[in-house]
Amino acid sequence: MTSIPRRIGVLTGGGDCPGLNAVLRSVTKHAIQSGLDVHGIEDGFLGLIENRVRELRYDDVSGILKLGGTILGTSNKANPSRFATGQTEDGKVIWEDVTANCFDTIEEHGLEALVVLGGDGTMACAQPFAAAGIPVIGVPKTIDNDVHGTELTFGFQSAVEVATEALDRVHTTAESHGRALIVEVMGRNAGWIALHAGIAGGADVVLIPEIPFKLEHVLEQIEWRTSIGRRSTIICVAEGACMEGGEQVVHALDPTSPDPVKLGGIGEQIAHEIDARSEVEARAVTLGHVQRGGSPVADDRVLGTLFGAHATHLLLEGASNRMVAWRGGAVGDVDITVPGQGQRTVPIDDPHVLAARSCYTTFGDDVPRKLREEARGRGPRGLLR
């Protein structure tokens, strides 16, 4: 335990997501009421590197609860320990440790503690400051819901809502035309968005990175649905999903980013294969950043408010190096190094996976025929025609 800080800095790092402003509002209002000064650092750690810091008062955070994005701006490239400062003539990125600039900024503004809103990358970026004795409190965000130590990140439920609406919408057009409709969602190497939206949107096929799939099984599902008179097949695919023995589909590479691989394109590939190998016409939609934009859903506003209040509460208790977390249905906190374990992915026996399978959804790793045959034998009138 350290002493209670009087002046705190707050930043939002990594990719944005709905709910960041709800947390900023909650942290700031709670801190101001408790007699602390709050300073907002612009564009994540870039603002510390470039000395861009401004005071946050009540008026600055009033009315922002339902705003998407972040009023402070963010950057998913600014890791002070390994910061891209340029490129050599032959295109190699020049990396430098610019942590000293950040310490200068912290000193100039008299910041005695930091609240960092971000994912695993942001928590890792905060380590040198925690190690130097500056209390740091992390607040986990990301639409991907893949941060270790917390069962839920804010932003996730908003992204699932967008993806579910997209699935609902493609359902009707798929039915009209008798097509297979594929919706590709984000999530990096984790399938949480695809899994939850797939269940909520009634997808017949859910493809996630944790369960490699075979195209044959996807085609069999389409064939089976056609054979029982269903006009459409809805497929929800995570951008990180890949075929058994294959590789993830990369949309772009950004060598200046700590996360250089940008995934995307698997949905179009599957559509192409379905067109080529079946009688059914397929179309693909990639949702992309639509999932990250716009207002947070009510649950993310509530979670963000709870998280922000707890972050300030931890600082007022003199705590340091903790990350706020959602565990067992309540807000708590864990050591800030816990997210460093890597991405929290979907266990293949997760109850959501099992529940989806029990509703005839395939993950492309199996033919649901066995299940269907069993159901036919068991059902009072037979579940299938």
- Output the residue with the shortest Cβ distance to ligand F6P: 186
Q: What is the DSSP letter of 288?
A: G
Q: What is the largest CA-CA distance in the chain?
A: 76
State the nearest-atom distance from the C-beta of 375 to ligand F6P, in Å.
35
Among 137, 195, 205, 263, binds ligand F6P (CB under 6 A): 263
The SS3 call for residue 360 is: coil
Beta strands in 88-197 (DSSP E): 93-96, 113-118, 136-140, 180-185
Interatomic CA distance for residues 34 and 370, integer angstroms? 61
Q: Indicate the residue among 15 and 308 with the shorter CB distance to ligand F6P.
A: 15
Q: Where is 83: in which H helix or E strand?
A: strand 83-87
- Nearer to ligand F6P by Cβ, of 17 and 170: the residue is 17
Residues marked as catalytic: 144
Report how far residue 120's alpha carbon sits from residue 122's, in angstroms, rounded to the nearest whole number. 6
Among positions 76, 79, 153, 305, the unique one binding ligand F6P when judged by CB under 6 A? 76
Q: Which of 143, 284, 285, 297 binds ligand F6P (CB under 6 A)?
A: 143
- The residue from 69, 187, 198, 339 that contacts ligand F6P (CB under 6 A) is 187
Using CA atoms, how far residue 95 sits from 29, 92, 172, 217, in Å, is 38, 9, 50, 45
DSSP tag of 154? B
Residue 109 beta carbon to ligand F6P: minimum distance, rounded to whole angstroms: 28
Q: Which residue stretch of 108-116, 142-150, 203-211, 316-324 sits at the interface with ligand F6P (rule: CB under 6 A)?
A: 142-150
Positions 286 through 345 that interact with ligand F6P (CB under 6 A): 292
- The CA distance from 204 to 191, in Å, is 16
Binding residues for ligand F6P restricted to 199-258, rule: CB under 6 A: 239
Residue 68 neighbours by CB under 8 Å, 6+ apart: 16, 18, 21, 293, 294, 295, 296
CB of 185 to ligand F6P, least distance (A): 8
- Three-state secondary structure call for residue 230: coil
Reference 77, options 220, 200, 257, 317; nearest CA is 257
Partnered with residue 181 across adjacent β-strands are: 234, 283
Element (H, E) at 276: helix 266-277
Member of 112, 144, 184, 300 binding ligand F6P (CB under 6 A): 144
80 or 118: whose CB is closer to ligand F6P?
118
Q: Does 15 bind ligand F6P (CB under 6 A)?
A: yes
Q: CB under 6 A: which stretch of 104-112, 184-192, 206-214, 339-347 binds ligand F6P? A: 184-192
Q: How far is the CB of 239 from ligand F6P (least distance, A)?
A: 6
In angstroms, give the least distance from the CB of 76 to ligand F6P.
Answer: 5
Length in residues, the chain:
385
All residues at 6 or more sequence positions from 237 whose CB lies less than 8 Å from its CB, including other chains: 182, 183, 184, 185, 194, 205, 206, 207, 266, 267, 270
Nearer to ligand F6P, 188 or 196 (CB): 188
d(CA 355, CA 34): 46
Q: Taking the complex as a whole, how short is the minimal distance between the CB of residue 292 and ligand F6P, in angstroms?
A: 5
- Find the shortest distance in angstroms from Cβ 190 to ligand F6P: 8
Q: Which stretch binds ligand F6P (CB under 6 A): 61-69, 183-191, 296-304, 352-360?
A: 183-191
Q: Are the beta carbons of 323 and 333 closer than 8 angstroms? A: yes
141 belongs to the binding site for ligand F6P (CB under 6 A): no
Judged by CB under 6 A, the residue of 74, 142, 305, 321 near ligand F6P is 142
Helix (H) or strand (E) holding 235: strand 233-238
Between 10 and 143, name the residue whose CB sits nearer to ligand F6P: 143
Nearer to ligand F6P, 38 or 297 (CB): 297
- Based on the shown chain and the rule CB under 6 A, indicate whether residue 150 belongs to the binding site for ligand F6P: no
Residues that bind ligand F6P (CB under 6 A): 15, 76, 142-144, 186-188, 239, 262-263, 292
